[in-house]
Amino acid sequence: MDCLLAEDRAADNGSSWMRSRRRCVSRDARPRVSRLGPKHKLTMMLLALGVALLATPTMANKASCNQPAPKAIFYVPLPGSPFAAIPTDDGCTIFVSLPATGARDQSHIAVLARGDGDVSVAHVIKIKGWVGGMALSPDGRVLAAADGGGVTLFDATRLIAGVGKPVLGYLNEGPKAGSVYVAFSPDGQLLFVANEWSPSISVYNFIGILAGEPPKMIGKIRVGGSPVGLAISPDGRLLYSTSQTIPGATGSCASEDGKGPRRAPGALTVIDVVHAATDPSSAVLSRVPAGCGPVRVALSLRGDIAYVTVRGDNSVAVFDTAQLLNDKTHALVANIKVGNAPVGIAVSDGFIFVANSDRFGESKTQSVSVLDPGNLSAPGGSIPAGGFPRELKLTSDGGTLLVTNFATHTLELVDLARLKELPK
């Protein structure tokens, strides 16, 4: 299984949640989130807008934030094992989730400041429970972080400033959900949560939450076993989800750690976002086999190709997204061999990047495979990485690749303009 079912299982604090009509409260004394009256809500919205406007960077500041480091590869030491790295749209800040990896460990979110070719940890914020996949709302105001038992919502401005209480509230899925990954719809109206243990994808009305309404789950989408990866088409109409096992399928896949029983293969599921907003139970459009242990999915810039990392097969499965809906038997167009246990994946204008995690090995150095989407049969390049490179993310300008090296506690920044300078 992915993250929560392996090294992060001990971090689940077993807390349960209660939802009322007016607020969400945890039994482990998490802050209460109360509804505001109309006048107070308007005042708070205006204050937030004012802060956001004051914090908006000039073009000169944005250029400074995205200035490349002196070296083509730059490592930032972190006070923990990084899961996900999420840059702000201007590139000036990077949020990094640092999940607890033991029963006595503490989870954190590190806030990194970026500018003039340098990146450093500005401050680190303690959080309760576990933390994994994260996403910024399209307007950049809210950071949503999967916390094992649901989602914690943070005020991004307060996280950056390091002052005040950054937690806005919680979305409860229960301690047995295994919430691990999140994604916003491009219009910011919906929030999707991948629950690895359930297994399901929860759909929330996020616009209502921002308006001060009680958290409202629209419903759940039933998918295959251990769903993790989420990707939304550029037009916002389709959601793609990986599931590590297909319900009812025979165990044709070997155990990835070489110790457990054989497992069923996994699948890629295609979901109608419009239907998910009203009736999630009927939103699944298609499901296709995707090999042994599919864990992440990324789309081409046009959305016509879906790339899936298949951890148990050491490969990337390439699907034609139109055929996923029209002719499932011919949707798989290629299977590309990469390094050991690929997990994270990112797609730029000219490259596909794949994090070879070697999750079940013991090496402290791994690699990121570099593939050419225009010639998938060509030998791929390679970028050095630390131990257990887990997630990949591109900055909004497409110039820098972020790599979270989970085992060696670093965030790696790769200047893509200087790929030719990198050791092979």
Convert the pLDDT of each residue in 127-144 to its tens digit: 988 999 999 999 999 999
Does residue 125 sit within a domain?
yes
Output the pLDDT for position 370. Answer: 96
Is 360 among the domain residues? no
In this prediction, residues 16-39 reach a mean pLDDT of 35
pLDDT band at residue 420 using 50, 70 and 90 as cut-offs? confident
pLDDT at 40: 41
What mean pLDDT comes out for the span 20-32? 34
pLDDT score at 403:
98
Q: Is 97 part of any domain?
A: yes
What percent of the residues of the chain are helix, what percent strand, and what percent coil, each to the nearest 5? 15, 40, 40
How do residues 261-286 score in pLDDT, each as one tens digit? 999 999 999 999 999 999 999 999 99
- Reported as type and span, the H/E element at residue 401 is strand 400-405
Residue 214 lies in a domain: yes
Quickly state the pLDDT bin for 16 (edges 50, 70, 90): very low
3-state secondary structure of 100: coil
**In this predicted structure, what is the pLDDT of residue 346?**
98
Per-residue pLDDT, 363: 76
291 pLDDT higher than 70: yes
pLDDT the model gives residue 303? 98
* Range of the structural domain that residue 100 is part of: 1-14+67-222
Residue 90 is assigned to a structural domain of this protein: yes
Say what the pLDDT of residue 178 is: 97
pLDDT of residue 392: 98
The model's confidence at residue 184, banded by pLDDT at 50, 70 and 90, is: very high
Which of 11-25, 171-185, 205-219 ranks highest by mean pLDDT?
171-185
Q: What is the CATH number of the domain that holds 201?
A: 2.130.10.10
Sign of CA dihedral 399, 309, 220, 305: positive
Q: Indicate whether 4 pLDDT > 60.
A: no
What is the structure's pLDDT at 58? 54
Domain count, the chain: 1
Distance of alpha carbon 110 from alpha carbon 112, whole angstroms = 6
Ranking 46-55, 208-217, 246-255, 317-326 by mean pLDDT, the lowest is: 46-55
pLDDT at 27 over 50: no
Whether the per-residue pLDDT at 422 is higher than 80: the answer is no
Rounded to an integer, the average pLDDT of 70-94 is: 97
Residues 392-403: what's their mean pLDDT? 97
Please state, rounded to an integer, the average pLDDT across all residues of the chain. Answer: 87
| Residue 388 identity (one-letter amino acid) | F
Strand partners, 135: 144
Residue 356 lies in a domain: no
> Residue 339 pLDDT > 80, yes or no?
yes
Question: Measuring CA to CA, which residue among 24, 13, 179, 195 is closest to residue 107?
Answer: 13
Residue-level pLDDT at 424: 58
pLDDT of residue 102: 82
pLDDT digits (tens, 9 = 90+) for 155-180: 999 999 999 999 999 999 999 999 99
Instruction: Give the mean model confidence (pLDDT) for residues 386-411.
Output: 97
| CA distances (Å), origin 419, targets 76, 313, 340, 341, 415 | 19, 27, 22, 23, 7
**What string of DSSP letters covers 107-148?**
EEEEEEEEETTEEEEEEEEEESS----EEE-TTSSEEEEE-B
> Is residue 402 one of the residues assigned to a domain?
no
Q: Residue 128 has what pLDDT?
A: 87
Confidence class for position 421, pLDDT limits 50, 70, 90:
confident
β-pair partners for 221? 201
β-pair partners for 240:
231, 270
Q: CA-CA-CA-CA torsion for 221, 223, 227, 231, nearest 10 degrees?
A: -60
| Residue 112 pLDDT > 90 | yes
Q: Residue 377: exposed, middle, or buried by beta-carbon count in 10 A (0-12, 13-18, 19+)?
A: exposed
Report which DSSP code applies to 87. E
pLDDT digits (tens, 9 = 90+) for 294-312: 999 999 999 999 999 999 9
Within the chain, what is the greatest distance between any pair of CA atoms? 61
Residue 2 lies in a domain: yes
pLDDT at residue 50 greater than cutoff 60: no
Of 59-68, 226-235, 257-266, minimum mean pLDDT range: 59-68
